[in-house]
């Protein structure tokens, strides 16, 4: 079954990209001319930016807005975020250790040739190729925005100041939002920094689960199920055609992806199946035998374009959020994982203030996990990432 493709989505993706490029060019020209006018008018040397927009290398933009600050203030005033976020530190620690383990084994597999080089290419190179543009961008916007918002909310709950919020733009396409913490973050204690750091990746993990759980509901929505592809040298070849709408299989009415899945899941090899299709407004019933080995007739089917699009978006939202969350948990500065690991000794010590045993464990932990050892791990992680990426392009 081919639910993760849809030609209609591909075409609109390109069109929308072109539209964004045109809009970006207009914004870019407007921004530069306005800036020149401002520079001519006032010679105070201050780098004033019209529209709150700053453009980097002509490709990327940062648009500062106050909308994010208001949301963070409203949600972050509840102090229960403090307690909750402290609980997130040990959860993140466990995921982080798993991530580090997977990262190291996958790097070993890459260089021993067990996995294809393509797997270590930066995700951005998969866009338009493996990852469809719009669902991929929507997934990134949701992931980056909620990740940053979660950091901001917990920071606010600890009364830390937020310097600014805004949107990240790549060629005019919003790629997500950012929350810039004030210098107070650097000066506060390790435990609070760990709590603030934990909130971001956990937001991504929660989005992963929401997207995964939403998929069956979407698959259950009424939609015509159309044959999108007939495989060569399979029983369906010459009998069923691309574009046929599947009306029923073995007298089970097909009106959604779920009903299609249920109708085909128990079909066995060499089984006689009856398919009723709608072709040129006429119902037609055909009977065919499934293949001897796999029990297939050789068709791919898909739901309507809109349902396919929603499913694609949910699928990539789940996948990219899992990747975002896990990647940020690597204990490498400036990623969140660094602050989470660094919080551990203080977190253990403060479990019960004045407890001698906990104090001892905390001191031992601090010998192993401290800013110095974490900086070494950071160098190792970034070194491996850099070398793997270079190797994937060789």
Cα separation, 149 vs 76, in Å, equals 10
Of 184-192, 193-201, 343-351, 370-378, which part binds Zn ion (CB under 5 A)? 193-201
What is the x/- site pattern for Zn ion, positions 299-328, by CB under 5 A? -----------------------------x
Specify the residue, 204 or 317, whose C-beta has the smaller distance to Zn ion: 204
Specify the residue, 26 or 98, whose C-beta has the smaller distance to Zn ion: 98
Of 186-194, 215-223, 331-339, 367-375, which part binds Zn ion (CB under 5 A)? 331-339
Of 46-54, 96-104, 194-202, 245-253, which part binds Zn ion (CB under 5 A)? 194-202
Task: Find the shortest distance in angstroms from Cβ 134 to Zn ion.
Answer: 24
Cα separation, 38 vs 224, in Å, equals 57
Verify binding: residue 332, Zn ion, rule CB under 5 A.
Answer: no
- Among positions 255-284, residues that touch Zn ion (CB under 5 A) are none
Verify binding: residue 336, Zn ion, rule CB under 5 A.
Answer: yes
Task: Find the shortest distance in angstroms from Cβ 71 to Zn ion.
Answer: 17
Cα separation, 181 vs 165, in Å, equals 9
Specify the residue, 244 or 336, whose C-beta has the smaller distance to Zn ion: 336
Specify the residue, 176 or 200, whose C-beta has the smaller distance to Zn ion: 200
Task: Find the shortest distance in angstroms from Cβ 80 to Zn ion.
Answer: 21
Task: Find the shortest distance in angstroms from Cβ 339 to Zn ion.
Answer: 9
How many residues sit close enough to Zn ion to count as binding (CB under 5 A)?
A: 3
Task: Find the shortest distance in angstroms from Cβ 129 to Zn ion.
Answer: 27
Backbone phi and psi for residue 181, each to the nearest 5 degrees, phi listed first: -80, 150
Specify the residue, 302 or 336, whose C-beta has the smaller distance to Zn ion: 336
Task: Find the shortest distance in angstroms from Cβ 336 to Zn ion.
Answer: 4
Specify the residue, 97 or 361, whose C-beta has the smaller distance to Zn ion: 97
Specify the residue, 85 or 248, whose C-beta has the smaller distance to Zn ion: 85
Verify binding: residue 244, Zn ion, rule CB under 5 A.
Answer: no
Verify binding: residue 166, Zn ion, rule CB under 5 A.
Answer: no
Verify binding: residue 200, Zn ion, rule CB under 5 A.
Answer: yes
Specify the residue, 227 or 330, whose C-beta has the smaller distance to Zn ion: 330
Task: Find the shortest distance in angstroms from Cβ 204 to Zn ion.
Answer: 9
Task: Find the shortest distance in angstroms from Cβ 269 to Zn ion.
Answer: 50
Of 52-60, 83-91, 199-207, 240-248, which part binds Zn ion (CB under 5 A)? 199-207
Task: Find the shortest distance in angstroms from Cβ 325 to Zn ion.
Answer: 9
- Give the C-alpha distances (Å, rounded to integers) separating 88 from 97, 156, 217: 14, 16, 29
Of 172-180, 237-245, 333-341, 360-368, which part binds Zn ion (CB under 5 A)? 333-341
Cα separation, 197 vs 152, in Å, equals 10
Cα separation, 127 vs 316, in Å, equals 11
Specify the residue, 336 or 346, whose C-beta has the smaller distance to Zn ion: 336
Alpha-carbon dihedral sign for residues 210, 168, 388, 337: negative
Specify the residue, 179 or 275, whose C-beta has the smaller distance to Zn ion: 179
Task: Find the shortest distance in angstroms from Cβ 386 to Zn ion.
Answer: 20
SS (H, E, C) the chain: CCCCCCHHHHHHHHHHHHHHHHHHHHHHHHHHHHHHHHHHHCCCCCCCCHHHEEEECCCEEEEEECHHHHHHHHHHCCCHHHHHHHHHHHHHHHHHHHHHHHHHHHHHHHHHCCCCHHHHCCHHHHECCCECHHHHHHHHHHHHHHHHHHHHHHHHHCCCCEEEEEEEEECCEEEEEEEEECCHHHHCCHHHHHHHHHHHHHHHHHHHHHHHHHHHHHHCCCCCCEEEEECCCCCCECCECCCCEEEEECCEECCCHHHHHHHHHCCCCCCEEEEEEEECCEEEEEEEECCCCCCCCCEEEECCHHHHHHHHHHHHHHHHHHHHHHHHCCCCCCCHHHHHHHHHHHHHHCCCCCCHHHHHHHHHHHHHCCHHHHHHHHHHHHHHHHHHHHHHCC
Ranked by CB distance to Zn ion, the top (closest) residue is 200
Contact set with Zn ion (CB under 5 A): 200, 328, 336
């Amino acid at each position: 079954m081919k639910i993760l493709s849809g030609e209609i989505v591909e075409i609109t993706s390109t069109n929308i990209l072109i539209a964004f490029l045109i809009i970006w060019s207009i914004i870019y020209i407007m921004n530069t001319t306005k800036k020149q006018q401002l520079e001519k008018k006032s010679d105070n040397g201050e780098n004033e930016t019209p529209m709150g927009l700053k453009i980097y290398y002509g490709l990327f933009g940062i648009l500062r807005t106050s909308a994010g600050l208001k949301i963070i203030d409203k949600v972050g005033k509840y102090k229960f975020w403090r307690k909750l976020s402290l609980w997130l530190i040990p959860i993140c620690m466990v995921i982080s250790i798993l991530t580090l383990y997977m990262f190291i084994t996958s790097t070993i597999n890459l260089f021993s040739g067990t996995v294809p080089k393509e797997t270590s290419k930066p995700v951005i190179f998969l866009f338009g190729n493996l990852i469809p543009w719009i669902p991929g961008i929507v997934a990134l916007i949701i992931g980056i925005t909620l990740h940053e918002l979660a950091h901001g909310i917990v920071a606010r709950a600890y009364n830390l100041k937020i310097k600014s919020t805004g949107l990240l733009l790549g060629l005019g396409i919003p790629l997500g939002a950012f929350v810039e913490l004030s210098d107070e973050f650097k000066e506060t204690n390790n435990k609070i920094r760990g709590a603030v750091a934990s909130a971001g990746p956990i937001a991504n993990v929660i989005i992963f689960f929401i997207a995964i759980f939403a998929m069956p509901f979407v698959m259950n929505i009424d939609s015509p199920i159309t044959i999108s592809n007939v495989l060569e040298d399979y029983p369906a070849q010459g009998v069923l055609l691309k574009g046929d709408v599947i009306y029923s299989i073995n007298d089970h009415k097909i009106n959604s992806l779920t009903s299609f899945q249920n109708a085909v899941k128990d079909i066995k090899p060499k089984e006689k199946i009856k398919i009723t299709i709608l072709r040129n407004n006429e119902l037609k019933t055909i009977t065919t035998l499934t293949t001897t080995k796999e029990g297939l007739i050789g068709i791919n089917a898909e739901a309507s374009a809109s349902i396919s699009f929603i499913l694609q978006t949910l699928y990539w939202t789940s996948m990219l959020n899992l990747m975002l969350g896990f990647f940020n948990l690597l204990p490498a500065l400036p990623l969140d994982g660094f602050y989470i690991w660094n919080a551990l000794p203080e977190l253990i010590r403060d479990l019960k203030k004045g407890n001698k045993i906990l104090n001892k464990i905390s001191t031992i932990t601090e010998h192993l996990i401290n800013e110095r050892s974490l900086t070494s791990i950071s160098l190792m992680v970034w070194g491996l990432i850099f070398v793997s990426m270079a190797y994937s392009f060789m």
